[in-house]
Amino acid sequence: MARGLGKGIGALFPSETLESIQKDEHIEKIPLQKIVANPFQPRKKFDDEAIEELAQSIREHGIIQPIVVRKKGKKYEIVVGERRYRAAKLANLGEIPAIIKEMTEEQMMELAILENLQREDLTPIEEAEAYQSLIEKLNFTQDDLAKRLGKSRPHITNMIRLLQLPEEVRELVNEGKLSMGHGRALLGLKNKRQMIEVAKKVINQSLNVRQLEALIKQLNEKVSRETKQKPKKDIFVQATESQLREFFGTNVQIKKTKNKGKIEIEFYSEDDLERILEILNLNHEEL
């Protein structure tokens, strides 16, 4: 693990900014065909209109600030500057000015994520996925991230919780049809199977976050009433369910009949299923 990283660009280039790197580092012109995207790029969606505007500026004024790349075989991977790279392609340039830096994959991933986080224009889901990547691939804790990024621990926790939303709902947040506030409110639904249906209702009826919270309160009260009418499970089963929920990080139910029973483990996306399979030391190929 690459400890000592993580204060943004300054962690990799001490007491420097990209502007000073441009002055002090050797800049080469690299053919666009030799450049490939950053595999650790947290941004999944790029604003086509903004890229077109940047391309027009490049046609008129050229590229003022070089991108940063690292050599990988016969190609160059983008570390910082993917928007400029995309705009240069759109402007039909043959080459682009670049600074070549030597760095590990860990350094490259952290710099790519931090540079995007500092721009503050990632979608909430992209931001959450960036945090999760740093936690999983660089063994950071949420406390580590909070200190390195100047964020509060609750902010990091609340963002990562958005990844518990079903994939379809996460996509609606990515597209800007639902806000982060909507996503957080939806996580409060007791009946997780209702999430997609309720999310679509929010969009169709243009519900704000407070209206959504009121709707969820009504739906949860209905679930509570229905639950009270059902026969209570014995204390042993309830305690076991609680332990299993904590272990798997998702809803788990034990259902017993007279002669047999079953355990149901819920998941809300393919990623969530993969996570549960990893806990069980299984993967799709073994099933």
| pLDDT, tens digit (0-9, with 9 covering 90-100), for 99-115 | 888 888 777 777 777 77
| Span 178-217, pLDDT tens digits | 999 999 999 999 888 899 999 999 999 999 999 999 999 9
Q: Which of 112, 97, 111, 108 is nearest to 22 (CA)?
A: 97
How many helices (H) does the chain have, and how many strands (E)?
Answer: 14, 7
One pLDDT digit (tens) per residue for the chain, 287 residues? 333 333 333 433 333 444 444 454 678 899 999 998 877 776 767 778 888 888 898 998 888 889 888 888 889 988 888 888 889 999 998 899 998 888 887 777 777 777 767 665 678 898 888 888 888 877 888 888 888 778 888 888 889 999 999 999 999 998 899 999 999 999 999 888 899 999 999 999 999 999 999 999 999 888 877 766 666 677 888 888 888 888 887 888 888 777 788 888 888 777 778 888 888 877 655 55
> Active-site residue numbers?
82
Instruction: Provide the phi-psi class of 120: left if phi over 0, else alpha when psi is between -120 and 50, else beta.
Output: left
What pLDDT sits at residue 17?
41
Cβ contact 134:140 at 8 Å? yes
What is the model's pTM? 0.56
Q: Which of 110, 111, 108, 43 is nearest to 76 (CA)?
A: 108
In the chain, what are the domains?
Answer: 27-104+112-117 (3.90.1530.30), 164-220 (no CATH), 235-276 (no CATH)
